[in-house]
Amino acid sequence: MLSVRNVRKIYQSARGNYVALSGLSVDIKEGEFLCLLGPSGCGKSTLLNLLAGFEPVTAGSIVCEGRAVTGAGQERVVAFQDANEALFPWLTVEENIRFGLRARRIPRESWNEITDSNLRMVDLDLHRNKFPGELSGGMRQRLQIARALAVNPKILLMDEPFAALDAMTRRRMHSFLIDVWQRTGKTIIFITHDIAEALVMADRVAMMSVGPASSIMRIIDIELPRPRDITAARFASHYKEIDELLASEMARAEMH
């Protein structure tokens, strides 16, 4: 579904050029749940912006369903880390979802059905007339996801959407997102720096090297049954493997 080939991204400033990504390649399959994992500053959000079409690549290519990504596309929608900034506080829950439908010029006669089905999916149908400020953090993230799904994208790009939530709410959100993914069959690309979070959710974990000039250094298949048991020996084995790889990469970067 998405093919990234030898992507390079350079930011220019008065202080000189900064090479954020270099030689980065990855293929993402339809219906896959892929986690991009790496330390802070390794270029995860930069890569997500390139996949979304928010920024152009400096070199290399990103192809989605056979077409070059040169800008934002209707098949790709982003869910951000801070739902407070993503949602419109002056619109109700229902109106936030309908904003996307209006922006995409989806026929008005289908709005009720789309709105109702997505509110039920994220368990917010009884809160449709509330404003975002009246919702909990987890509810606001569920609303942001519902608004993204309402326009029926093929790919959901998620930039650490649960990072600001408390541990208990994050665990509930993991289960919620996996349920939504399994019901909709969407392709999800999820950024995180939390190893356990990646292992709980992903089909594959793409590990990024320390920046600058970051790339994907390893892709690990997570062949664990769902729902994932974080106390299982195989879970712990994957965790140890990834933790050691990241520690080795950090040590290598510090030496240079």
Q: Are the C-beta atoms of 27 and 219 separated by less than 8 Å?
A: no
**Residue where a domain terminates, one of 109, 124, 152:** 152
**Residue where a domain terminates, one of 118, 152, 186:** 152
Model confidence at 51: pLDDT above 90? yes
CA distances from 148 to 77, 186, 198, 234 (A): 6, 11, 21, 34
User: Do 251 and 160 lie in a common domain?
Assistant: yes
Report the percentage of the chain scoring pLDDT > 90: 77
pLDDT of residue 190: 97
Q: What is the mean pLDDT of residues 54-83?
A: 92
Model confidence at 256: pLDDT above 70? no
Q: Is residue 81 part of a domain?
A: no
Return the closest-CA partner of residue 224 out of 211, 209, 239: 239
Q: What is the pLDDT of residues 189-228, one digit of tens each?
A: 999 989 999 999 999 999 999 888 999 999 999 999 999 9
Q: Is residue 184 part of a domain?
A: yes
Give the integer Cα–Cα distance in Å for 5 and 227: 33
User: Do 108 and 57 lie in a common domain?
Assistant: no
Return the closest-CA partner of residue 230 out of 167, 136, 185, 183: 167
Domain tally for the chain? 2
Q: Is residue 164 part of a domain?
A: yes
Q: Which CATH number characterizes residue 12's domain? A: 3.40.50.300
Q: What is the mean pLDDT of residues 75-82?
A: 90
Q: Is residue 247 part of a domain?
A: yes
Q: Is residue 82 part of a domain?
A: no
Range of the domain at 250: 2-75+155-255
**Residue where a domain terminates, one of 127, 152, 177:** 152
Q: What is the pLDDT of residues 224-246, one digit of tens each?
A: 999 999 999 999 999 999 999 99
